[in-house]
Amino acid sequence: MQRLAHAGASVRAVVRNPSGDVAGAAVIQADLLEVATLAPALAGIKSLIHCAAITADHKEPFPGAYRRVNAEGTRNLVWAARRAGVEKIVLLNGLGTRRGSDRSYMRTRWEMSEAVRNSGLPWVALQPSILFGDRAPYPAALARLARQFPVMPVLGGSRRLQPLWVEDLVSCLTMAAGSSQWDGRSIDLGGPDQLTYREMTKLVMDTIGVHRPMVPLPPSLARVPARVMALLPNPPLVPATLELFDFDNVTQPDVVEETFGFQPRRITDHFLANGLDG
């Protein structure tokens, strides 16, 4: 928000539960599932950056929440955006978003994209791999596990991911919102490094100075534990999470430079200088 405001934009932050100021933005309350809240939130808005979702690292807050919020919520938002005269939608989705099977988490993410693609408005979808920096959830979850357990389960093992710095994603979002250059494209994004999940786990443990023996946990063996853990209030793993380990979470290493013209930050350099945050 601050970056957009510094660039001269008048920014509105749409949140479900306003609990304070958002630097650089006017705050307004709305909920994707409460259609009546969307019209005032979108009135006068030219570019809409849609980052709201129930993600696979969270247990559904109510049964069917992935579908309701991601798919139906996005359709509500698109409908309200058209009525409000919004001129462009920038969607934040995940790398490798695909159709998935009926009733999968992935299907709900695909339907988000479909709603935006079929909106009739200019659109662009940015689809990053795992993010790091600024309390990004995946490195923080690994750090929590390492601190809490004597051994470190490594889900995904030799599958790869391509971490992107949150601030670099913000640069791409800002550029995509301000130009028609990338309209009509779904762009997978990642930073300059491709790591295996095992290497990522080790990097996080090295960064926080906690070392645990790593134990491979193949996604096929994690299915039953994930179902059981989903009964807990804040589980580290739910069945939807496992869908993200079905494929390599990577794209071309130079995609940000090729597409947006700048060199994104390396995760190793960032962790060395800032730890997990920053």
Ligand X SMILES: NC(=O)c1ccc[n+]([C@@H]2O[C@H](COP(=O)([O-])OP(=O)(O)OC[C@H]3O[C@@H](n4cnc5c(N)ncnc54)[C@H](OP(=O)(O)O)[C@@H]3O)[C@@H](O)[C@H]2O)c1
Contact of 164 with 136, CB cutoff 8 Å: no
Q: Which of residues 156-185 bind ligand X (CB under 6 A)?
A: none
Give the interface segment with ligand X, choosing from 2-10, 30-38, 172-180, 223-231 (CB under 6 A). 30-38
As given in the structure block, the two tokens for residue 136 are 């990004």
If one counts every other C-beta atom within 10 angstroms of the C-beta of residue 151, the result is 11
Q: Using the rule CB under 6 A, is 131 a contact of ligand X?
A: yes
Q: How far is the CB of 109 from ligand X (least distance, A)?
A: 7
Which residue from 88, 94, 202, 259 is in contact with ligand X, where contact means CB under 6 A? 94
| Cβ–Cβ < 8 Å for 84, 40 | no
Q: Compute the least distance from the CB of residue 224 to ligand X, in Å.
A: 25
**130 contacts ligand X (rule: CB under 6 A):** yes
Q: Residue from 6, 16, 99, 103 that binds ligand X (CB under 6 A)?
A: 16
Residue 34: DSSP 8-state: B
Decide if 48 contacts 116 (C-beta within 8 A): no
Task: Output the CA–CA distances (angstroms, integers) from residue 68 to 34, 52, 140, 243, 252, in the order listed.
Answer: 11, 12, 27, 18, 33
Which one of 3-11, 128-136, 154-162, 180-188 is the stretch in contact with ligand X (CB under 6 A)? 128-136
Can you say whether the dihedral through the CA atoms of 79, 82, 83, 87 is positive or negative? positive
Q: Does 137 bind ligand X (CB under 6 A)?
A: yes
- Is residue 13 a contact residue for ligand X (CB under 6 A)? no
Q: Total number of residues binding ligand X (CB under 6 A)?
A: 21
Nearer to ligand X, 69 or 152 (CB): 69
How many Cα atoms are found within 13 Å in the side-chain-facing hemisphere of 175?
A: 14
Q: Which residues lie near ligand X (CB under 6 A)?
A: 16-17, 31-33, 51-55, 69, 73, 92-94, 128, 130-131, 136-138
